[in-house]
Amino acid sequence: MLRYLSAGESHGRCLTAIIEGLPAGLPLDLAQIDGELARRQRGYGRGPRMELERDRVQVLAGLRDGKTLGSPLALLIENRDWTNWEKVMDPVSVSAGEVLTNPRPGHADLPGVIKYRQQDVRNILERASARETAMRVAVGAVAKALLAHFQVQVVSHVVAIGDVTAAAVMAPHGDLSLLADESPVRCLDPEAERAMVAAIKAAQKEGDSLGGVFEVIALGVPWGLGSHVHWDRKLDGRLAQAIVSIQGVKGVEFGAGFAGCQLPGSSFHDEIVYDPKRGYTFTSNNAGGIQGGMSTTAPIVIRGAMKPIPTLAKPLQSVDIKTKEPTPASVQRTDSCAVPAASIVAEAAVAWELAVAFLEKFGGDSLAEIKDNYNQYLKNL
């Protein structure tokens, strides 16, 4: 089974991950992984930290001569900011830094200190922070490298920021992400892009923050990833968990989504057609590429709704956890809008889940064996 664990605090020395269950013989290009890390760091509305960090992945184990060995792959991303935080975050003895006692509304601070019996909010916020998503993107880039051998591509773009919504994308294609990357807010609609930038600027001026909606599309997914037979094997359920696990994401929808649920069944459901060359296809894609928990070869279309960033330059009301007196929430260095970055994290999260489901179906100990299994399956369709 393909799985990974990551570790690392936001201002700690580094982020690390161990991926287990990769086949042997998968070529990995570290520059490609770094390229994905750079995509996560961009986007209008990010905070000053993004200028400090230039994330680069290092491989500590599991790779030889550019190809996986089938053994655990150990990844590391250094936190460049560590040099400024050593005294605050030293693993053995902390010699500087104030104790934070004013939890931020909307963040992990308050439930975290209660659950873990902590007196310093920093002991929670360091891991709750979306800095962790840098490693998710690196791990997702490894998954993308595997999926690319089977012509599976995962792309994304931003659909809405605040109350500005972009025009819908009618025909998803593999270059969609490259185009989105050219936009400061990863939006494909130039008019909406301008309004989104203006909305973020206005929020920043007010010491406020904005959320929004991103869309991830997976292309080239073969028939039958996931399964209808048990709740935890359903592909849509697994993808939904992966998306909602991204910090700040509060909603997810597939295909025609919530709006589609207002349609009668006769307009909603995608009719089935058969073409001797292409096999079974659908006249529309309101299902978003998954039916009965299984992929249908139609593009998998997933949208995630991200709430506004909780840390505000003009802080909201909170309570001091030591004195129980009212106090303003703590003000940390912060993004004012991270929807563009979240769309990249979501791409990685989707790529990872698809790779897990892909190896469940076609898994083997080497890339060559997986290709044999995959080609045999296609032959029998």
Site size for ligand FMN, by CB under 6 A? 20
Residues of this chain, 29-68, that bind ligand FMN according to CB under 6 A: 47
Query: Which among 78-86, 123-131, 178-186, 366-374 is the span making contact with ligand FMN, rule CB under 6 A?
Result: 123-131
Considering the complex, state which of residue 47 and residue 70 has its C-beta at the smaller distance from ligand FMN: 47
129 or 318, CB closer to ligand FMN? 129
Q: What would the two tokens of residue 144 be?
A: 């993308």
247 binds ligand FMN (CB under 6 A): yes
Binding string, residues 248-267; x marks residues near ligand FMN by CB under 6 A: x-------------------
Choose one: 93-101, 154-162, 241-249, 281-289; the region binding ligand FMN (CB under 6 A): 241-249
Please, what is the minimum distance in Å from the beta carbon of residue 273 to ligand FMN?
39
Phi, psi at 161, each rounded to 5°: -135, 125
Length of the chain: 381
Q: Which is nearer to ligand FMN, 335 or 353 (CB)?
A: 335
CB of 304 to ligand FMN, least distance (A): 10
Instruction: Compute the least distance from the CB of residue 143 to ligand FMN, in Å.
Output: 18
Q: Which amino acid is at 303?
A: R
Count of alpha carbons within 13 Å of 217, Cβ hemisphere only? 23
Nearer to ligand FMN, 158 or 359 (CB): 158
Taking contact as CB under 6 A, which single stretch among the options 142-150, 240-248, 287-295, 358-366 is the one that binds ligand FMN? 240-248
One of 24, 38, 50, 128 touching ligand FMN (CB under 6 A): 128
Give the Å distances, CA to CA, from 307 to 136, 250, 317, 368.
Answer: 20, 7, 18, 43
- Residue 140 makes contact with ligand FMN by CB under 6 A: no
Binding mask 73-102 for ligand FMN (x = CB under 6 A): ------------------------------
Q: Shortest approach of ligand FMN to residue 1 CB, angstroms?
A: 26
Under rule CB under 6 A, residue 311 binds ligand FMN: yes
Least distance to ligand FMN from the beta carbon of 102, Å?
Answer: 14
Site for ligand FMN in 328-367 (CB under 6 A): 334-335, 338, 341-342, 345
Q: Which is nearer to ligand FMN, 59 or 216 (CB)?
A: 216
Query: Footprint of ligand FMN on this chain (CB under 6 A)?
Result: 47, 107-108, 128-130, 133, 246-248, 307, 309-311, 334-335, 338, 341-342, 345
